Chains A and B, each alone.
Chain A
């Protein structure tokens, strides 16, 4: 083999092996670091795993927001129209967080049916509703339609 060609072959082998190690690592890391989204209905139906970081979203239920008087602890409920779950969060909520508006929380689903949020995201501007929340509301709406066809 010509030296130049041999070197090129070595290079190709080097690049391919580096790339495959990389892809292997990437898939491994992705599996551990993706946060699945669940709707309140799915969570109450037991579809969401516990002790895994997940996301949940919905509309913040009117009059559900309570705040501890001495700390930054807060609690509120979100709904997809069919089911409500309680979210507990300690910290500063985003500016656009409000009751009857969409919110998405990142955190853990506990055995007491309470979602402990590490981070709460509200919608970003007046026009925008997070697509997951819009989707969840839509799904819950369709489900109620199916269960009670006479009502619509």
Chain B
């Protein structure tokens, strides 16, 4: 079977399918728009089937590339560079998106998946809106198809002399986390193209109303949820795979995914105002354009090789210039459209200083300011390099200096903000509970530090207080809103999915803040030299190094260390013989916890060395051990870390993403019919504000 695949011109099929997908994307961008201009319903209606066709061809192209990898066809340059016959099968599939060309093909596949989803789930949308949205998505797709075909064709052959064996996949990427991290991250990145397409469509039509916001919200929430999980996975992967236990480096590539996330978070919140109150309209459109532009910028930063970073791939200026031009066209074009049509959409209405609008505005300002700081810190080295100011790098202290206080302020306003009313809120009904909650939060924070027996640290105390503040406000808000004459259970059931989504996401923020604060401050990290039989005590644990043995793997040779971890409640001298006493003798003070087996892998094809940390994960702390280097004799250098609450960082992120998903599933987004949406549109236009369908 595999050899037969090699005989088939799979690469040519894939290449050809890609060209056909480009042709369909061109049709998708042009025909529906002409339909809206000449009011031709057939042309407008063609958008959906064309989008389906485009998906079919790009999916076929992608499947061809997967088949080339599974069939070890090293006559294709991309396969020869990134695979090897000894590579396990699941890594052969993930190798498809391990480098530049394949990850771009994944990009367009996901773009066309989102396009297909819009085409399928847009029955409630007016036809002209569907036509415009799909046409804009088609335009974006054209850019990426051209990029693929002109500068980064994954199907290029190495003929007539091709290697008999591939160079193998970069060992860093031979990991389960890397199988799922890029697709999910791209689902988020590319998902913002839908919000972008909706925004451009609204500008083209000169029409933006509550119904528009209601259509856009679930798509934006879905993309945002994917991006959240994608970023969390990336952070998690860096934590256990890069071998030095960090979970966020403010690396330009991380920033590239974090900036659209911040803009997208702002967008989600301003969409709420646009839907419920009909305000912040042009700002919302701008945010939708910004979110997607930042996604494109991220792609440019990562894919053009302009960055000096741990993710730097091979540089190729032709690619960089193409993306830069594409970026300029997308951002410039959409901003020009915004400048021309934006004023027709803007609407002013007044709201009280203490109101949900004000809090959401604060949210937007803080998020965008945070985003701007990160953008500045990320681009400054590039600008300095181009301007000849020298080669510089911006370190994590810069980012932490701004980001930490901004997030804490955001947390302070987030909690009461989600309980305030639209238009105006009586100030004293906010201040009175706030005083009690401040006191309660400080008590909880102090109590937590005391119970965990951590030394006092002001920043941690503030962070815990803010987290407790968010939790207490959320609980209070739920308690009040779930009150019902027919009993609390019924009241709780009557609250909408989007409300529970918001609650969960906000609690997720608190959980992440707790994790970040405690891990950053109370982690015990040691780099240490140990000989077999050597022992060290760190953060209440004894680590006994048993030595290293060689174990062969499928495409590498592993040297596996063994470290016995036991609890040492009582600090003892490094008395080696005591640890070898049979387990029954070991008192409760020295209970065995786990045995960790970190590895050093030597990959045979490329000769690379990889560190595989071993982690004993737990709800309140991780014990992290990685092998450093072999030293004289049988001694090794070891990294031994005890990291409290580190998992809460990702747990909180998952809660945020879950919140987004729950909000997407809210029934009210599906209840609408075309007629209801149109009725709402006209009502909104008459009243000058958006009308809510909901009884609240």
A interface list, Cβ under 8 A from B:
3-5, 7-8, 11, 15, 18-19, 22, 25-26, 29-30, 32-37, 53, 55, 67, 69-72, 91-93, 95-96, 106, 121, 124-128, 130-132, 135
Residues of A within 8 A of B611 (CB): 95
**In the complex the two chains form, is A95's CB within 8 Å of B391's CB?**
no
Residues of A within 8 A of B395 (CB): 33-35, 53, 106
Q: Does B609 contact A (CB under 8 A)?
A: yes
A92 contact from B365, B380, B607, B637, Cβ within 8 A:
B637
A-B contacts, 14 listed (Cβ < 8 Å):
A4-B349, A7-B350, A18-B365, A22-B369, A33-B401, A37-B392, A72-B529, A72-B628, A92-B628, A95-B608, A124-B172, A128-B313, A128-B314, A130-B308
Are A8 and B348 also in contact (CB < 8 A) when A95-B611, A126-B606, A128-B314 are? yes
**In the complex the two chains form, is B398's CB within 8 Å of A29's CB?**
yes
Are A34 and B350 also in contact (CB < 8 A) when A15-B365, A93-B629 are? no
Complex Cα gap A125–B309 (Å): 12
What is the distance, in angstroms, from B56's C-beta to the closest C-beta of chain A? 36
Complex Cα gap A125–B312 (Å): 9
**In the complex the two chains form, is B402's CB within 8 Å of A29's CB?**
yes
B interface list, Cβ under 8 A from A:
170, 172, 243-244, 308, 310-315, 348-351, 361, 365, 369, 372-373, 376-377, 380-381, 384, 390-395, 397-398, 401-402, 527-529, 606-611, 628-629, 631-632, 637, 639
**In the complex the two chains form, is A25's CB within 8 Å of B402's CB?**
yes
Look across to chain B and name the residue whose beta carbon is closest to the beta carbon of A123.
Answer: B312
Complex Cα gap A121–B391 (Å): 16
**In the complex the two chains form, is B608's CB within 8 Å of A96's CB?**
yes
Are A29 and B310 also in contact (CB < 8 A) when A3-B350, A35-B395, A125-B170 are? no
**In the complex the two chains form, is B608's CB within 8 Å of A125's CB?**
yes
Residues of B within 8 A of A69 (CB): 632
Complex Cα gap A7–B529 (Å): 64
B393 contact from A11, A34, A67, A125, Cβ within 8 A:
A34
Residues of B within 8 A of A34 (CB): 380-381, 384, 392-395, 398
By DSSP majority rule, is chain A's interface helix, strand, loop, or mixed? mixed
What is the distance, in angstroms, from A58's C-beta to the closest C-beta of chain B? 13
**In the complex the two chains form, is B380's CB within 8 Å of A132's CB?**
no
Look across to chain B and name the residue whose beta carbon is closest to the beta carbon of A3.
Answer: B350
Return the 5 tightest CB-CB contacts between A and B, nearest first.
Answer: A33-B398, A37-B391, A92-B628, A95-B609, A4-B348
**In the complex the two chains form, is B527's CB within 8 Å of A36's CB?**
no
Residues of A within 8 A of B628 (CB): 72, 92-93
What is the distance, in angstroms, from B368's C-beta to the closest C-beta of chain A? 9
Residues of A within 8 A of B380 (CB): 30, 34
What is the distance, in angstroms, from A38's C-beta to the closest C-beta of chain B? 9
**In the complex the two chains form, is A5's CB within 8 Å of B391's CB?**
no
Q: Known contacts A26-B372, A34-B395; can you find 5 more A-B pairs with CB under 8 A?
A: A22-B373, A30-B380, A36-B392, A95-B611, A126-B607
What is the distance, in angstroms, from B409's C-beta to the closest C-beta of chain A? 11
Complex Cα gap A96–B632 (Å): 19
Are A67 and B391 also in contact (CB < 8 A) when A4-B349, A72-B529, A128-B314 are? no
Are A91 and B527 also in contact (CB < 8 A) when A19-B369, A30-B380 are? yes
Complex Cα gap A129–B397 (Å): 26
Complex Cα gap A26–B314 (Å): 31
Residues of A within 8 A of B527 (CB): 72, 91-92
**In the complex the two chains form, is B394's CB within 8 Å of A33's CB?**
yes
What is the distance, in angstroms, from A24's C-beta to the closest C-beta of chain B? 12
Residues of B within 8 A of A135 (CB): 391
What is the distance, in angstroms, from B446's C-beta to the closest C-beta of chain A? 30
Residues of B within 8 A of A70 (CB): 529
**In the complex the two chains form, is A126's CB within 8 Å of B369's CB?**
no
Residues of B within 8 A of A106 (CB): 395
**In the complex the two chains form, is B394's CB within 8 Å of A132's CB?**
no
Complex Cα gap A53–B401 (Å): 17
Look across to chain A and name the residue whose beta carbon is closest to the beta carbon of B167.
Answer: A126
Complex Cα gap A23–B380 (Å): 13
What is the distance, in angstroms, from B510's C-beta to the closest C-beta of chain A? 24
**In the complex the two chains form, is B393's CB within 8 Å of A37's CB?**
yes
What is the distance, in angstroms, from B366's C-beta to the closest C-beta of chain A? 9
Are A125 and B172 also in contact (CB < 8 A) when A4-B350, A22-B369, A92-B628 are? yes
Complex Cα gap A55–B311 (Å): 19
**In the complex the two chains form, is B376's CB within 8 Å of A30's CB?**
yes
What is the distance, in angstroms, from B308's C-beta to the closest C-beta of chain A? 6
Are A30 and B402 also in contact (CB < 8 A) when A35-B392, A72-B529, A130-B308 are? no
What is the distance, in angstroms, from B120's C-beta to the closest C-beta of chain A? 40
Look across to chain A and name the residue whose beta carbon is closest to the beta carbon of B171.
Answer: A125
What is the distance, in angstroms, from B77's C-beta to the closest C-beta of chain A? 14
**In the complex the two chains form, is B376's CB within 8 Å of A26's CB?**
yes
Complex Cα gap A4–B310 (Å): 50
